[in-house]
Amino acid sequence: MKKSHNPDLIPTARILRQEMTREEKHLWYDFLKNYPIHFTRQKIITHYIADFYCAKAKLVIELDGAQHRTEEGRAYDEKRTEFLKQYGLVVLRIPNKQINDNFEGMCKYIDTIVRKRLNGEKMPLFM
């Protein structure tokens, strides 16, 4: 299945890059930006915008704030994750609280997931 993106989302993705949350900025500038395996931020994948995306590892990282804990937020996230799985992508959801309270541990966790994905290992994701 070929991934394409909706060009109408380009302005939204630009705005999201300019107005990242505190947690997104922390993860991007203090870890992912200089990570040895390339990540992009606010990546358009079909009709969704992923917080962070690693094409080589087929990994999407989503940082979740309070809106993701509502019934509607959870339902939307589940639908989105199932859709992205069709492209062979794994979606790693990390609560903002984990970035704030356990940043080093989350960086190690992300690194472990990326390495396992690059080695073709299947790994259950817990977050």
Q: Check whether 38 has a pLDDT greater than 50.
A: yes
**Residue 81, Cβ neighbours under 10 Å: how many?**
16
Q: What is the pLDDT of residues 47-87, one digit of tens each?
A: 899 999 999 999 999 998 755 466 787 888 889 899 999 99
Q: Say how many domains are in the chain.
A: 1
124 within a domain of the structure (yes/no): no
Determine the structural domain holding residue 77 and report its residue range.
7-117
pLDDT at 68: 47
Structural domain contains residue 123: no
CATH of the domain at 12: 3.40.960.10
**pTM of this structure:** 0.84
In a domain? residue 102: yes
Assigned domain for 65 exists: yes
Q: Is the per-residue pLDDT at 35 higher than 60?
A: yes
Residue 1 lies in a domain: no
Residue 40 confidence (pLDDT): 96
